[in-house]
Amino acid sequence: MGIQYFNEDVPLPKIKKRNSTKWIRETILSEGKRVGDISFIFCSDNYLLEVNKTYLDHDYFTDIITFDYVEGTLINGDIFISVDRVLDNSVEFKTTFEDELNRILIHGILHLLGYKDKNKKDKLLMTEKEDFYLKLLKDN
């Protein structure tokens, strides 16, 4: 069991795996859950588009797709992240690639923890949680 990082058709982004893993573990534990098997799979826009079409029947680009295999309080899942989208988003939102990548990492974890982002109220809570946990990462 644990948190693992993989890449498909792009190089693995330069992330501080030890710090990221510790931060993600602390996030899950602080939400009263347990860390199970979590895989982050970094890929291109086109790769994630195919995942989106095949498994969700959606024909559009996205930055993240989270497959939830949570069992009770045990957090398990596969989180696919488009490095292309993260880079584009970092430019659009005038932030660094690293900061945007961390936001996307924790966004996927928050989905596994049960947070949604389909309506305005849920999106607001999701963003508040992202900001809270991103601050914890920066403070460490």
For residue 107, the model assigns a pLDDT of: 97
Which residue matches tokens 């988003």?
89
Torsional class of 100: left (φ above 0), alpha (ψ -120 to 50), beta (otherwise) = alpha
Say how many domains are in the chain: 1
Give every residue of the chain whose pLDDT is below 50, as ranges: none
pTM score of the predicted model: 0.95
Beta pairing class for 64-68 and 2-7: unpaired
Given a contact cutoff of 8 angstroms between Cβ atoms, the answer to whether 104 and 81 are in contact is yes
Closest by CA to 7, choosing from 47, 48, 43, 38, is: 43
Distance CA 25, CA 59 (A): 33
For residue 1, the model assigns a pLDDT of: 67
Domain that holds residue 61: 2-139
* Alpha helix positions (H), 15-80: 17-30, 45-56
CATH number at residue 121: 3.40.390.30
Task: Give the distance between the most distant pair of CA atoms in the chain.
Answer: 40
DSSP annotation of 118 reads: S
**Cα angle for residues 117, 30, 62 (degrees, 5° grid):** 30
